[in-house]
């Protein structure tokens, strides 16, 4: 089960389209798009997206390990991925994340910027639909998994929307925000549902909650001690894509991503080294790294550092380099 099945690609357009669409529900997308919105579009939009994404993903991941519905049998389906094959299927967290991110972005921006409502709605629908279809194409989910994930995410969006402004205000102003943002996610990670075998769901959930915790502390710190974190001044209503704006947007993005990736690499090495010394295991021991007492602190500290750097240090670096 450690390798993908042999298959023949008969339509390369669909193959690459859905392989790319599947990546839109994975870490590579989260670690690029979510910071991009914070650095280049609007801070309030980014805050709302990150909070909704973390809540939706936590509920989705826990639901998988409580329901324990199996993934599609292979054969008859051909599975083009193997990393997530150890996870249960219902609900599809790819479908949940795509629905949450695309529609929360649409809802958060439709009253801030001038663009056709129908265009924004269509873009959110197409984005989420492509990710949902990719899970069927790659053989990782059933139709019911995907529909269930999208519906759960939609219901959570409806329930969370009325509290958006209240939650955002508390995250920016409450003196208890830093403590709450660290303690609650850590408690949730350490008390994640136990399985009879190892599944990457706990590690992925810790990654998401850790990144959100670091980012939330960064939001609070920016609002308390730095310039206002409410709105980016770079992108004005109408999203003017003149040459100078594009250059600054790309420069901010590449500088930020470089810092984020460097932070992840450094913190991963340092934290694993400390934990390896504490629990007496070599760094290449995969089984040891999957133990709860190692996996949770390793991933939480690493990705909370990433979230903090992305929201506090990177904007300061942008100012220092004259990119604001």
Q: Is 43 assigned a catalytic role?
A: no
Residue 42 has φ and ψ, to the nearest 5°, of: -160, 130
Distance CA 95, CA 92 (A): 5
Distance CA 52, CA 156 (A): 8
Distance CA 302, CA 324 (A): 27
Numbers of helices and strands, H then E, in the chain: 13, 0
Residue 312 has φ and ψ, to the nearest 5°, of: -115, -55
Residue 66 has φ and ψ, to the nearest 5°, of: -90, -45
Structure token pair of residue 74: 């292979």
- Looking at residue 197, the DSSP 8-state letter turns out to be S
| Catalytic site residue from 141, 169, 277, 318 | 141
Using an 8 Å Cβ cutoff, are 314 and 260 in contact? yes
Q: Is 94 assigned a catalytic role?
A: yes
Structure token pair of residue 152: 């759960």
Distance CA 191, CA 138 (A): 31
Per-residue DSSP letters for 115-179?
A: --HHHHHHHHHHHHHHHHHHHHHTTS--HHHHHHHHHHHHHHHHHHGGGHHHHHHHHHH-TTHHH
Distances (CA, A) of 304 to 71, 171, 217, 231, 301: 31, 16, 9, 23, 5
Distance CA 53, CA 64 (A): 16
Q: Measure CA 88 to chain center.
A: 19
Distance CA 33, CA 103 (A): 14
| Catalytic site residue from 43, 94, 169, 230 | 94
Q: Measure CA 244 to chain center.
A: 29
Q: Kindly list the catalytic residues.
A: 94, 141
């Amino acid at each position: 089960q450690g390798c993908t099945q042999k298959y023949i690609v008969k339509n390369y357009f669909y193959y690459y389209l859905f392989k790319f669409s599947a990546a839109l529900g994975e870490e590579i997308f989260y670690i690029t798009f979510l910071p991009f919105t914070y650095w280049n579009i609007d801070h309030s939009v980014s805050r709302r997206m990150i909070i909704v994404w973390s809540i939706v993903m936590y509920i989705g991941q826990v639901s998988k390990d409580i329901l324990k519905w199996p993934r599609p049998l292979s054969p008859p389906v051909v599975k083009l991925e193997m990393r997530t094959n150890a996870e249960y299927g219902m609900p599809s967290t790819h479908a949940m994340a795509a629905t949450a991110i695309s529609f929360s972005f649409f809802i958060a921006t439709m009253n801030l910027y001038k663009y056709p409502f129908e265009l924004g709605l269509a873009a959110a629908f197409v984005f989420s639909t492509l990710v949902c279809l990719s899970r069927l194409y790659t053989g990782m989910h059933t139709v019911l998994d995907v529909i269930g994930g999208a519906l759960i995410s939609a219901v959570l969006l409806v329930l969370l929307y009325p509290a958006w402004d209240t939650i955002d205000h508390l995250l920016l102003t409450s003196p208890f925000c830093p403590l709450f943002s660290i303690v609650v996610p850590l408690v949730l990670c350490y008390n994640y549902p136990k399985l009879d075998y190892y599944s990457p769901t706990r590690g992925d959930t810790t990654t998401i909650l850790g990144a959100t915790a670091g980012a939330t502390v960064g939001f609070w710190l920016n609002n308390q001690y730095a310039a206002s974190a409410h709105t980016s001044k770079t992108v004005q209503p109408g999203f003017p894509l003149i040459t100078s704006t594009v250059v600054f947007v790309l420069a901010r993005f590449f500088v930020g991503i470089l810092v984020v990736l460097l932070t992840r690499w450094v913190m991963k090495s340092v934290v694993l080294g400390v934990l390896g010394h504490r629990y007496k295991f070599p760094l290449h021991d995969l089984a040891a790294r999957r133990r709860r007492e190692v996996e949770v602190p390793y991933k939480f500290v690493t990705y909370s550092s990433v979230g903090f750097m992305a929201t506090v240090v990177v904007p300061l670096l942008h100012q220092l380099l004259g990119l604001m």
